[in-house]
Amino acid sequence: MAQLLDGAGKLVWVLLRSVLRFTFMFINNCVAIPSYCLYLMLLQPLRIWDSSVFWHIEGIMFKWLLAMVSSWGWVAGYTVTEWGDDVRPISEEEAMVIVNHQSTGDVCTLMMCLQDKGTVVRKMMWLMDHVFKYTNFGLVSLIHGDFFIRQGKAHRDKQLVYLKEHLDKYYHSRDRKWIVLFPEGGFLRKRRETSQLFAKKHSLPHLTHVTLPRLGASHVILKTLGAQQENGSVGGDTSMLNTTANKRKGLQWVIDVTIAYPKARPMDIQTWIFGYRPPTVTHVHYRMYPIKEVPVEAEALTDWLYQRFVEKEDLLAHFYDTGSFPPPEGQKEAVSRQMTLDPVWLCLIQSFAFASGYMWYSVLQYIYCCLF
């Protein structure tokens, strides 16, 4: 009987905590997102006068919004441990970031682990499924200039044309640096069977923890944002670190990001919202490739991407067996880094969001009373 009461008490506490978290996040969205939109509406004259300053300010507020999402997981004990290459030194250089995709929580994980990477978050562009357009964050992403892509053969060719037009129109004009995409084209649980059948038919590697990537978006990005060389690679001199900001060099890196969840149990957005899972450490592995090593011709790029995802398969298999990623070649032990967020900074951002929400509510209420 005592065990039953104890279990019931824990269940009540989990449910109460979930309701409180959902209520806070609902109010958080109601004050933060409209405030972001209203501030940018107020700054439209600045956009006409000096668009670079406008997008600089927009990027700062965009980073703050993503930090709020990060804080939802942070206070529930959902943290990130990083492995592999340190990407912070190249945070000011242009890069294409390819990530394995297991669940909606992957986006939240990236929002968190990129917070301490300099200006990356405010200068990044996301490629995500068009379904995200209809979430609470969809309007923010539309304003920021992210690209929502439709999946499926019926839309594929047209979407790639739209992507190229989008990159030409927004990537450079808004001073974007990193572009993030999920080449698998869908969640692991939805694509695994189809991918394995395709691999068997074409004598390709059998993958369990990832699926075979799709070429389209990566190919368009490389051809649009990097200068092609005679050898079929994308040009770029990674030693020219002191080039002035006004002289863009194009893509300099491809960053291969592998996200691993303990016991292969991905976290989804519902977990971040309700916080019903015990504190969990998500592991993120980085590997950087200079752009000159990346082929741009379709067939060679396909082979290169397949090789990267075979490596991801090996990384994840090792992680699920041992609880850690393997050490880099030539080293005996892999070194991990605990990613941290400053709680004071998070509190200041949340305070600013709620203060802004109250200010805009008061302003709009005053205008309404004056008019009616």
Strand, coil or helix: 231: coil
**Tokens, residue 368:** 């309404």
- pTM over cut 0.75: yes
Mean pLDDT of 345-359: 95
Residue pointed to by tokens 């200010």:
359
Mean pLDDT of 165-192: 92
Sheet holding 178-181, edge to edge: 147-149, 124-129, 178-181, 95-99, 253-260, 280-290, 78-84, 336-339
User: Above pLDDT 90, what percent of the chain?
Assistant: 69
Among 12, 18, 20, 26, residue whose Cα is nearest residue 357: 26
Instruction: Name the average pLDDT for the chain.
Output: 88
Q: How far apart are the C-alpha atoms of 195 and 210, rounded to whole Å?
A: 9
Contact yes or no for 218/179 (Cβ under 8 A): no
- Sequence-separated contacts (24+) of 152-158 with Cβ below 8 Å: 156/216
Instruction: Average the pLDDT over each of 20-24, 85-89, 187-191, 256-260 and give the range with the smallest value.
Output: 187-191
- Looking only at the bridges linking them, the beta strands covering 253-260 and 178-181 are unpaired
Cβ atoms < 10 Å from Cβ of 146: 23
Domain boundaries, the chain: 1-230+249-327+338-371
**Vertex 143: Cα angle to 243 and 116 (nearest 5):** 50
Q: How far apart are the C-alpha atoms of 183 and 20, rounded to whole Å?
A: 36
Q: How far apart are the C-alpha atoms of 65 and 140, rounded to whole Å?
A: 9
pLDDT digits (tens, 9 = 90+) for 130-152: 878 887 788 999 999 999 988 77
**Tokens, residue 41:** 């509406």
pLDDT digits (tens, 9 = 90+) for 101-123: 999 889 999 999 999 998 999 99
pLDDT value, residue 65: 95
Query: Can you name the residues that pair with 99 across neighbouring β-strands?
Result: 257
Residue pointed to by tokens 């291969």:
256
Q: How far apart are the C-alpha atoms of 34 and 157, rounded to whole Å?
A: 35
pLDDT value, residue 259: 96
Cβ-Cβ contacts under 8 Å for 293 (sequence gap 6 or more): 233
DSSP type of residue 228:
B
* pLDDT band, residue 226 (cuts 50/70/90): confident
Q: How far apart are the C-alpha atoms of 95 and 234, rounded to whole Å?
A: 12
Among 108, 104, 148, residue whose Cα is nearest residue 126: 148
pLDDT digits (tens, 9 = 90+) for 309-323: 999 999 999 999 999
pLDDT value, residue 238: 40
Residue 236 has pLDDT above 70, yes or no: no
